[in-house]
Amino acid sequence: MSVNPFIVQRPIKYGEPFCNRKGEMAQLESAAKRSEAICILSIRRFGKTSLINQVAGHLEDQGWITVRLDLSRSFSVASLVKEFETALLAIKGRWERLIGHLKSVSTIRPQLSMDPMTSQPSLSFDFSRPRDEMNALRHVLEAVVSFPEKTGGDETRLCLVLDEFQNIRKIDPKGRLEWIFRSVFQERSQRFVPFLLGSEKHLLRLMVQEESSAFFKGVTPMELDVLPEDEVVDFVTSQFQRGLKLKMPESRIRGVYRIFGGHPFAINWFWAEMWSLEERSKYLEPIETYVQVAVRIILNQRDYYEAINSKLPLGARKVLLAIAEHEPVAKVFSKDFMVNACGMSQGSLQSALKVLIEEDKIKKTSRGYIVNDPLERLALAVADLDEDELKIFVKARIEQEE
């Protein structure tokens, strides 16, 4: 039995089949080699972690050290400090030099011991003076950033990946933490690079693109878009040809791509299901099977988005549905949209738009407002269709490409 190359429900590891984001990978690897800080802006389930896994793997193959931290677990400055203390543990095989380096920081006294239960090394920190958490964070962050120069060999390079980076704004809404990170990152050498990620796109964008923010012009924003259609066609074709000796019709691959709007999660899920079916049957499944799989995914995701959006104010839900039905909406305050489509006053519509933007539900493009997530856009567009009507809708989309 062949291993299903379409991975769902978890990030794709380095070395596993990955589609393909060649442009983004090249941009990130090039940025790392010139120490250019990058902030990846993306909605949820768009493959940020999978992409970083591939880039980190390529860098490690070239001798880099990569350290990845998930800041969603941090709810205070003290817990941030602990995360970076743990990061220092992740830099393996350099204990003596690491401890010597940390002892040069006056407030930190590193202590290395062995856990008697696991026989694994444990690193803890003692502060010789009363601990000021902001200063402690600065010191331990400086230790990480300066590690390649002060404790590594001449060729040591370090890539630090900070996931859910927007959480530091939640810990300190005044932005002081951001200025600490900015000031320490500014002192980095060519042998260190930070990559910043997060799932709250709107908040992260404010942190790096507002002129008053600490990271304005301090990092390069990188928008992660839908998967390129031709890359998906090539990837699906090659995987089925190599693994199952089946030639998948290009028209069907493109039809499925356009149904799901290039959404990485949905596309991977669809082809994972089709792989399992094709592997059992040993022949190309009829179009009705494609329709059934697509409809099952759409119904599941319609329920998923309904549950999430039930937490939005009623007015925001009405506007979101109206935008999905009429997008792109160039003139949101026109009578046709504001009154006829939404049944709202200007003030109510302004409030709803503000909520939807802050929740990453919509975005404004050159053509007007659209739903941010292509899979949510699909779920909203078919919200009133029953299962039979949905099958007709999906089949027409696939056959349109044949």
Q: Kindly report the CATH number assigned to the domain that includes residue 213.
A: 3.40.50.300
Which residue carries 């601990």 as its tokens?
A: 131
Structure tokens, 87: 């990061």
- Residue 250: closest CA among 267, 238, 268: 238
Number of domains in the chain: 1
Rg (CA), the chain: 24
Q: Tell me, yes or no, whether 303 lies in a domain.
A: no
Q: Tell me, yes or no, whether 69 lies in a domain.
A: yes
Q: Tell me, yes or no, whether 399 lies in a domain.
A: no
Residue 329 backbone phi and psi in degrees, to 5:
-100, 100
Q: Tell me, yes or no, whether 230 lies in a domain.
A: no
Q: Give the start-end residues of each E strand in 171-263.
A: 192-198, 220-223
Residue 106: the pLDDT is: 41
Q: What's the domain range around 82? A: 22-223
Residue 8: the pLDDT is: 93
Residue 121 backbone phi and psi in degrees, to 5:
-70, 145
Q: Could you state, in chain order, the average pLDDT of each consecutive group of 10 residues for the chain (402 residues)? A: 90 94 96 97 93 97 93 92 82 54 51 55 51 87 88 82 95 95 95 94 92 94 94 96 94 96 97 94 88 97 96 97 95 95 96 96 95 96 95 92 64
Peptide bond into 228 cis (omega under 30): no
Q: Tell me, yes or no, whether 212 lies in a domain.
A: yes
Q: Tell me, yes or no, whether 36 lies in a domain.
A: yes
Q: Tell me, yes or no, whether 238 lies in a domain.
A: no
Q: Tell me, yes or no, whether 343 lies in a domain.
A: no
| pLDDT tens track for 116-148 | 555 555 555 554 544 688 999 999 999 899 988
